């Protein structure tokens, strides 16, 4: 909603819609539509999405994500496909 508020403020438009949200530590694109184009939003968000990530095996953080402090590490060399 921060993006929508900023777009409304800077564009002077009242009708602004977005096509989803991002996790606070994620990067990516948020589709934003203005005015009558907000009617097209349903078609934009129904499209396919692709996610990419990096997994580091053997690392445990206090928040269970990359934002936390590392609590323990373990040898993950024995993990196979």
18 in any annotated domain: yes
Can you spell out the DSSP letters for the chain? -HHHHHHHHHH--S-EEES----TT------EEEGGGGGGHHHHHTS---------TTEEETTSSTTSPEEEE---TT---
Look at residue 31 and tell me whether its pLDDT is greater than 90.
no
Residue with tokens 């203005």: 34
Residue 27 lies in a domain: yes
pLDDT in tens, 33-52: 999 998 888 887 777 778 88
The pLDDT of residue 47 is 72
Which residues participate in catalysis according to the annotation? 23
pTM: 0.54
Average pLDDT over residues 15-28: 80
The answer to whether position 78 is within a domain reads no
* Residues 62, 65, 68, 71, CA torsion sign: positive
Whether 22 is in a domain gets the answer yes
pLDDT higher than threshold 90 for residue 76: yes
For the chain, how many structural domains are there in total? 1
């Amino acid at each position: 909603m921060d993006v929508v508020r900023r777009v409304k403020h800077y564009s002077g438009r009242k009708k602004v819609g977005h096509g989803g949200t991002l996790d606070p530590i994620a990067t990516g694109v948020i589709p934003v539509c203005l005015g009558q184009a907000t009617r097209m939003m349903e078609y934009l968000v129904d499209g396919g999405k692709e996610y990419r990530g990096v997994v580091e095996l053997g690392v445990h953080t206090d928040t269970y994500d990359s934002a936390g402090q590392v609590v323990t590490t373990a040898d993950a060399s024995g993990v196979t496909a």
